[in-house]
Structures are given as C-alpha cells and as structure tokens.
Amino acid sequence: MSSDGINSDTLALTQEFMSTMLGVRRSGVSETASKLQSRGLISYQRGQIQIVDRKSLEKTACECYGIVKAEYKRLFD
C-alpha cells in the first residue's frame, strides 16, 4: 500500500518504522522481509525496500490488499 501511495517500487522504510506502523515486533518484520527476499519478491537492505516481483508479491498478500486497493480506487479515482 505504501508503494501504491507514492507510485514507486522503492521505499525508504526501516524495519523499526514498519513494526510500529503494523503494530508487530521488529523481529517479525525482519523474518518476513527475509522470507520475501529469499523468494525473490523484494530486495531489502539498510532501510531500502525494492519491490522486485510486484505481481507475485500481491498474490502472496492476503485478500485484504485487493479489497483495500479497490476501495481506494473507488473513492479517489
């Protein structure tokens, strides 16, 4: 959603910031980022996230991503 909001596949977000934003432990963000990176969906280093395979990343996300994306489009397009 952050990538959609700035219309870029590169995000400057630290794991600490993401954990606060999501209300989860930093270790959970680190573990998830590592898994996504090992699957080739993102590249992550030192507060920089690069979405490598957006289509597969969207498929990996829960169905709520599509629902929220459609609602934003309905409201703001």
The β-bridge partners of 10 are 50
Q: In CATH terms, is domain 2-76 a member of 1.10.10.10?
A: yes
> 71: phi > 0 → left, psi -120 to 50 → alpha, else beta; which?
alpha
Q: Where are the domains of the chain?
A: 2-76
Query: Of the candidates 41, 51, 74, which has an alpha carbon nearest to the alpha carbon of residue 1?
Result: 51
Structure confidence at residue 5 (pLDDT)? 85
pTM of this structure: 0.82
User: pLDDT tens-digit profile of 25-68?
Assistant: 999 999 999 999 999 999 999 899 999 999 999 989 888 888 98
- Residue 70 to residue 30: CA distance in whole angstroms: 28
